[in-house]
Every structure is written in C-alpha cells, then in structure tokens.
Structure 1
Amino acid sequence: MTDPCYDVAHLGHVEMYTNRFEESLDFFTRVYGLKLSGQDETSAYLRAWEDYEFHTLKLTRHETTGVGHIGYRVSSPEALERRVAAIEASEYTSLGWVEGDMGHGRAYRFEDPFGHVFELYWDTHRYVPDDADKPALKNMASRYTGQGAAPRRLDHLNLLSSDVTAFRDFMVTCLGSRVTEQILLDNGRLGGCWFTVNNKTYDLACTEEHGGGDARLHHVTYATDQREDILRAADIFLENGVHIETGPHKHAIQGTFFLYVWEPAGNRVELANAGARLILAPDWETVTWTEAERKRGQAWGLKTIETFHTHGTPPVQAAE
C-alpha cells in the first residue's frame, strides 16, 4: 500500500457515450432517477440528488457507446499543479489543458496506456437548486424526489484493460491512488485492482479485459442508502423492460450489495449499497484474493455470469 497522497479529492464525473441518446436520457432520468442539470447540443449533464457538483454523469451523443473521459476533482489549486507536474514527468501521454464544460472550469487531460482519457480539475460549478428543487434542510444538495431508482450519489466506475498491473502503475503515479483490494491470478497476473484517493473503499476499479477491446467501460455505479432501495429498483427496472444482467446480490470483494443493468444503448450501470464501510486505517494493507477464491462466486455463492466477464462498451467489432 502506497503512502496516502490526497492531492486528488474524489471522483467527480464520468462522460458516457450513447448512440441512442433520447432513450438513454429517458432511462437515466425517468427510470434510474438522476436529475437533469443542463443540456447543450451534444450532451446532457446529470447528477444524483445528493451530488454537490453540477453534474456527475455527462451523457454524450456519439456514434458508439463507452466512456468519453473520467474527471477527478483535486483538493486545491496547488494540488492540481503538483499532479500535472507528476504526470508530465512520467511516461504517460499528456493531452494538455482543456477549457472545461458546463460543469467545471479548465481541466488537465491525460491518457492511460489503454486509451482511457482522464482529467483533473479544481474549479467546479456547484449545483444551485431552484425553488422547485430546494431541500428542506440547508445542508443537503437538493430535494429528494423519489423519481425512479433515485440513487444518492456517484460512487465508482470500472474500466477494462489488458494489463491490470500497468493500469495500477498509472493510477498510483498520476492520481496518487492506493489499492485497497486486488485479485492475483494463478499465472501471476493481476486480474483486478480497486483504487481509492480518499477514505472510501474505492472510487475506481480495473479488471482484466476478456473481450478483446481497447479503452472499454465495464460499468458506472451510483450509490443508494440501503439494500431495500436496490430491491425496489429491481422491480422498477422489471416494470420498464430494462435488461437486468445480474443481482440483486452481494459482492465478496468490497462487500457491496449490487444490481447490474444495461441502459438502452448497452452501457452497463450498477446500483450499489456499500453501507458504512470506509478505509480509516492509515496503514491499511491491500487485501489479495486468489483465483480459487474468486471462482467460488459472489459472497453467497452465486456464480458470476459469463457476460459480466465479456460485455463491455463499446462493443468489439467482429473481424472481417
């Protein structure tokens, strides 16, 4: 476990591509239960009711699916400069500064070895509720409306890579991340790593790519308050014809109670309840799971279904 860095404060937002924009937007607002903060000609900016920033999901019209970029907010302007210096001194690809978008100010972009684009930013646009969305308690970000599954906040995302060890080195170098849990395969490769930049158990996971693609997304996850919210969401998804891939169930790794579905364009999204589990120990030692332990299935013995290992977005084009 590396020493805590804390230059990076938290996962800020994820840009998701969709080639069925109107259907995806309807899913994320009416069924999944996110709130629409703003919209321009190419993207919709969405957030859960307790997310303090203007958006945590940027849904973008595109010719295909997958992830556009991943945004992390840093802990100060000085921390941003330190991270930029570390990235520029590293072997990783720098994409330079961008002006930001509807949800935040300028950001520094860079790329992992597999083509996923990340950005770091400090200046953000906090969500300011109008009278219709103003909460009764002034310490809440917005009103709870109970629309759809109604998750509370953005939690994490999972990316795919052909070399999890190389991705781990990228996260440690560029974001100062720590690894809380990992899978060590019998062949010596890392099969997965779970990363944190704060005292959450994780804000990003990387697992081994089994579908043959590059820069692919496995899933994006929003958090609920309790397990019953996820059971209720399963009924909501059923009534709305949403493809439920697996769950409700409990992960062995990280202990989250989960439900995975595919939104209309095929991107996998999750609802999860992590309870009150935090990493408070400053000397936390990475928990390592063996291949045999993972083959036992999830926490209560449910075997992981095959699509969970092979499905990612964008889909892999068949060889001609």
Structure 2
Amino acid sequence: MHDEPIMDVAHLGHLELLTPKPEASLRFFVDVMGMTESGRRGDSVYLRGWDDYERYSLKLTASQTSGLGHAAFRARSPQALERRVNALKGSGYEVGWHEGELGHGPAYQFRDPDGHLIELYYETEWYQAPPALRPALKNQAQRFPARGINVRRLDHFNCLAVDVKQNREFFQHFLGFRPTELIVLNDGTEAGMWLTATNKSYDFAYTREAHGVKGRFHHITYALDSREDILRAADIFLENGVFIETGPHKHAVQQTFFLYVYEPGGNRVEVASAGARLVLAPDWKPIIWTEEERKKGQAWGMKTIESFHTHGTPPLQHTATKMAKDRLGPLRDA
C-alpha cells in the first residue's frame, strides 16, 4: 500500500538574493531583465516579472557578499501550512515563525541539511497594477514592460549542496516534493536532483558542491516564452556589456533551453524557455542520468564549462577554487 502523496506546497514564491553592489544589481534587474520595482523596505528592493501574480518574486538585499538570503514557497492553504509546520517541528531543522515581511503573511522558516534558509507561507498580496501598468487583458498580471529582456515570471532556482541525497530526502519527507530527474554517479553518489511540487517538471534543483562548503547558491531562473526570446536575450546582454557564461543551448536534463549570465553582484542568473514539458503522471518515475551519459555534455553535445561546477555564491577564496579541480572528478565533463 502506497502512502498518499503530500501536496501541501503550491509553488515557488520568491527568492531573496544578496548583493554587494545593490545599485548596479538593481539596474541590471530593472533595465536589462525588464523587471518592475514593486516596493522598498530597509536595504531591500522588491521586484517582479510582468506576469508574476504575487507582488514580487525577487527580494534584492544589499549585503557585504552575494548569495541566497532565503527561498520561499507558498502553501496550498492555511491547513497545508499548519501540517508542514507540525511536520518540521522537532526535526532539528526549524528556525521559527517570521512575520512582518512585505507582501505576504506569517512565514515559517527552516534550514535544509545544507544550511540554506527556506520559508513556507500562505497569506499573500496579489499584485495590483497601477493605472500606467494595467494590462489590456484582465487575465494578465501587468502590462508587458517592453524593456530589456522582459522576463515573464520566476521559474526555478538551483542551490549547491555537499550531500545532494540528504537534501532530496529532506524535501521529499518534510515538504512532499517529487523528484523528476536525478544524476547518479557510478559509485552511487547523487550529484544532482530536480524536484517539483506542481505539474512543472521542476521548481528547483540541487547539484553537488565541489568544495565541500555548505549553504552556497548556483542560480535563479526567470522564464521567457520561446527559444527566440532566449536568442534575443543574448543580444540584449551583449549590448549591455553583461558577461555570458554559457549558452544559448539546450540542457539534456529537463530539456530547458538556457542562457546563463552573472549579475553585477556576482550571482548567476538564467533566462530559460522550458517548452511544453509537464509532469502530469501522478506515479512519475524519476529519470536517472548516469555518469557516462552526463559526460556527453548538453543535449546537442556542447560540454558543460568548468565554471558551471565551480562558480557559486557567496564566492570562495582562490585556494578553494584550486581545491575544486581535484575534487570535481566525474562531474567535470558533465
């Protein structure tokens, strides 16, 4: 007899990114990414894609370093939130309730086994566009900005983890996420996981941290409508002097059409078109990618560049980067 699936998490709500260059990072997200400012409080600016239904999907916070402040998921109901809080209590991972945040109600915070700060909330503020940003079609959150890349919505994020399997089991057990794809090396080590709470193929991913350092961040991803939009984004990044790390190209895992850059604060940012891949099967079996398959590179054969396995935020000292070359092993050509 199978356990009933836990469906208490509705979707990824927002991320908080830390930046040591707040003004430059803000200009990047507003002018280049085409996001809209929807609030300010203290050292933070709140930003949104034009079709995010909540008030914001990005909290950009001035800090001495870069990295992830926290990731937030919305629960399906007040009762669902209460169930997940009760499940987490006594686990050793709980932090506690956090209240008074702009744009949403009380949030229960906890840390995953790698130390990343996560929160779960239900009450939220739906975005109300001011007259100048009101769309012609009422089923759209905001008028198309026609500025820069015009990212539509928050899609997913990727964290680095020292122990991918331990984190996967944590999110499955306590929050009910389903794994859709995994990378498993020849020695049985899990090197990557893609998890979902929805019919999307994934809401977030964790991949192996090469330096043995916990709590690091890989990237945030905003969705565009088509591959052509990704190609156009590459030209817009070029025109704005933004360093393109890799792409445009197509991932083998999840088949996402991708383009990666670094924003001024050092955080990796992806714009992606995931296409029509949905996981509709309630009994989906995770796709397992082997070491040999990942060595073939991306979908069309492009090798994954080494910085994809070594660059994360907050940054490490140069000695740590050197250490990574000896520890990457089988993943270096993935």
TM range (shorter): over 0.9
Distance 1:192 1:235, change over 3 A: same
Q: Secondary structure at the match of 1:46?
A: strand
Question: What corresponds to 1:298 in structure 2?
Answer: 298
Shift of the alpha carbon at 1:2?
Answer: 7.9
| Equivalent residue number for residue 227 of structure 2 | 227
CA distance in structure 1 between the aligned counterparts of 2:251 and 2:100, rounded to whole angstroms: 36
CA distance in 2, matches of 1:3, 1:233: 42
Q: Which one-letter code corresponds to 1:315 in the other structure?
A: P
SS of 2:316's partner is coil
1:30 maps to amino acid: D
**Contact conserved, 1:213 with 1:316, CA < 8 A, in 2?**
no
Question: How far did residue 186 of structure 1 move?
Answer: 1.0
1:22 is matched with 23
The whole-number CA distance in structure 2 between the counterparts of 1:34 and 1:294 is 34
2:154 matched residue in structure 1: 154
> What is aligned with 2:11?
10
AA paired with 1:149? I
Is the Cα–Cα contact under 8 Å of residues 158 and 219 in structure 1 kept in the other structure?
A: yes
1:1-150 to structure 2, matched below 5 A, reads: 4-90=5-91, 92-150=92-150
Question: How far, CA to CA, are the matches of 2:61 and 2:109 in structure 1?
Answer: 18
CA distance in 2, matches of 1:151, 1:163: 32
Task: Measure, in 1, the Cα distance between the counterparts of 2:71 and 2:80.
Answer: 18
Runs of 4+ that moved beyond 4 A: none
Q: State the TM-score, normalized to the length of structure 2.
A: 0.93
Which residue of structure 1 lines up, in the alignment, with residue 332 of structure 2?
A: none
- 1:249-303 deviations in whole A, cap 9, x for unaligned? 0000000100000001110000010111110011111000001000100000000
**What is the one-letter code of the residue matched to 1:235?**
D
Q: Residues 212-245 of structure 1, C-alpha deviation per residue, up to 9 Å, x if partnerless?
A: 4320110000110000101000000001110100
User: Mean alpha-carbon deviation: is it higher for 161-170 or for 92-101?
Assistant: 92-101
Q: Residue 228 of structure 1: SS of its match in structure 2?
A: helix
Secondary structure of residue in 1 paired with 2:270: strand
DSSP 3-state at the match of 1:255: coil
* Separation (CA, whole Å) in 2 of partners of 1:19 and 1:154: 22
Paired residues of 1:2 and 1:178 also in contact (CA < 8 A): no
Unaligned runs of 5+ in 1: none
Structure 2, unpaired ranges of 5+: 321-334
- Preserved contact between residue 211 and residue 311 of structure 1 (Cα < 8 Å): no
**Residue pairs, 1:164-183, within 5 angstroms:** 164-183=164-183
Who is 1:312 aligned against?
312
Q: Which amino acid aligns with 1:222?
A: Y
For 1:262 and 1:247, the matched residues in 2 are separated by 13
Aligned AA for 1:272?
A: A
- By how many angstroms is 1:89 displaced? 4.2
8 Å contact kept, 1:184–1:289: yes
- Structure 1 residue 169: Cα displacement: 1.1
CA drift of 1:317 comes to: 3.1
Structure 1: distance between partners of 2:295 and 2:173:
31
Between the aligned residues of both structures, percent identity stands at 58
Q: Distance in 2 between matches of 1:282 and 1:40?
A: 41
| Secondary structure in 2 matching 1:300 | coil
Aligned to 1:252: 252
* Shift of residue 319, structure 1, vs aligned partner: 6.0
Structure 1 CA distance for aligned equivalents of residues 309 and 3 of structure 2: 29
Q: CA deviation at 1:100?
A: 4.0
TM-score normalized by the length of structure 1? 0.97
Deviation at 1:316, TM superposition (A): 1.4
Amino acid at match of 2:313: T
Alignment deviations for residues 110-169 of structure 1 (CA, whole Å, 9 cap, x no partner): 001111000000010111000000000111111112211111110000000110011101
RMSD value, Cα? 1.4
Q: What letter corresponds to residue 258 of structure 2 in structure 1?
A: F
Give the distance between the partners of 1:113 and 1:294, measured in 2 at CA.
Answer: 26
Q: Deviations over 1:186-231 (max 9, x none)?
A: 1110000000011110001000001343201100001100001010
Pair 1:162–1:35, CA change in 2 (3 A): same
| Alignment size in residue pairs | 319
Deviation at 1:99, TM superposition (A): 0.3
- 2:154 is paired with a residue of what secondary structure? strand
What CA distance in whole angstroms lies between the structure 2 residues aligned with 1:319 and 1:180? 35
